[in-house]
Amino acid sequence: MPIYSHSQLSVYEQCPLKYRLRYRDKIERDTEGVEAFLGNIDARLTRVISLPELLSFYDATWRKSWHDAVVITREDVTQEHYQALGRKMIETYYHRYAPFDADTTIQTEMRLNFALDKGSRYKMTGFIDRLSRTGDGGYQIHDYKTSAHLPAQENADHDRQLAIYQLGVRKRSPDIKDIKLVWHYLAFDRDLVSSRSDEAIARLTADTTRLIDEIESALEFPPKESAYCDWCEYPDLCPARRHFHVVESLPQNEYLKEPGVILVNKYAELKEQAGAIGEEMDKVKEAIVEYARRPPGGGNGYERNGQQGQDKVRQPPEVPRQERGRAGRAR
Ligand code: SF4
């Protein structure tokens, strides 16, 4: 059985077809949403240095990492807008937490590999942005979010991702008991904090293994349209969205940017051409009607073999008598 991650499971829940295209068919696309790009850049900034150093590291990382396949879906904003947004988030976070002595970082970008069950059938993987220990001996799993949407506390209390990571940390270090889950919503300067009881973790484990079983036994992966479609990398392969993709990929109207005087002249020129073509068409139409009135064999161009009625059409070779019979039985 493959190793699953929280994001893999989420993609299946969002849209089974997208899951199949990405994880089963492994169709790679080089596009990346600008929001994901921004999140990836910010997640790399986990070193504690001075703010100017941090911002200059951020700008350099942004320039080095930016590529043409980063997609900005909003038409009214630019790359510079997102870069400035990231800078603002870093500044706000820095001013709020400096001098960063509320806890001790144990590891950043910490990879977890663990199994949900004793038999290691249901394997999971994931990355923790930052794991820290607080002064009272507790542990915190931190996740940095650049999302433009601030979820409710209730969402945090039911979130699967960090709860799965809690399970992974406990499997790795069973002596760690007190774990808090902390989401930093950088665009809002807000943190959401939650925790999970042993019972909640047991329920999560059962739900997740059930979901993996469902995915493993799935024979059909139907498209499921939602707001996520705007960020989907497979609209051209999706029966539910292909028509939008076709419209978007139509060539642009090259006249849209021309000044009025050029447009008027072009229109007059095309109209004149259309008039000439119309006259030609009328003449051809008249000739067709005339042609249709001629008697058969009257030298109308339908070529014959010299003898009337013997068309130059190839006939099938003659079939021997007994084979004809066989052919008849076969029918
Ligand atoms: S466009 Fe929407 S419905 Fe189609 S595969 Fe992507 S997410 Fe699914």
pLDDT tens per residue across span 70-82:
888 788 888 899 9
* Ligand 1: centre distance to CA 10 (Å): 13
Find all residues with CB under 8 Å of 14, minimum gap 6, and list them. Answer: 224, 226, 228
For a ligand 1 pocket test, name from 11, 13, 17 the mutation site with the most ligand atoms within 8 angstroms of its C-beta: 17
Query: Would you say how long the chain is, in residues?
Result: 331
Atom in ligand 1 nearest the alpha carbon of residue 226 = 2
The rounded distance, in Å, linking the Cα atoms of 145 and 40 is 10
Provide the pLDDT for residue 65.
86
Q: What is the pLDDT of residue 245?
A: 64
Distances 176 to 113, 133, 158, 204, 267 between C-alpha atoms, Å: 17, 10, 21, 19, 77
**pLDDT number for residue 88:** 93
- The per-residue pLDDT for 273 is 83
Helix (H, G, I), strand (E, B) or coil at 259: coil
Do residues 169 and 176 touch, judged by C-beta distance below 8 A?
A: yes
Parts of the chain with a pLDDT under 50:
298-331
Helix, strand, coil fractions of the chain, as percent rounded to 5: 50, 15, 35
**Separation CA 237–CA 17 (nearest Å):** 9
- Ligand 1: nearest atom to the Cα of 14: 7
Q: Whose CA is nearest to atom 2 of ligand 1?
A: 229
Which pLDDT does position 261 carry in this prediction? 63
Q: Which atom of ligand 1 is nearest to the CA of 18?
A: 5
**How many other C-beta atoms can be found within 10 angstroms of the C-beta atom of residue 131?**
22
The pLDDT value recorded for residue 263 is 73
In this predicted structure, what is the pLDDT of residue 73?
78
Closest approach atom of ligand 1 to CA 17: 5
Percentage of the chain exceeding pLDDT 90: 52
Q: Ligand 1 centre from 190 Cα, in Å?
A: 31
Contact 199, 236 (CB under 8 A): no
Residue 35 confidence (pLDDT): 72
Query: CA 123 to CA 125: how far, in whole Å?
Result: 7
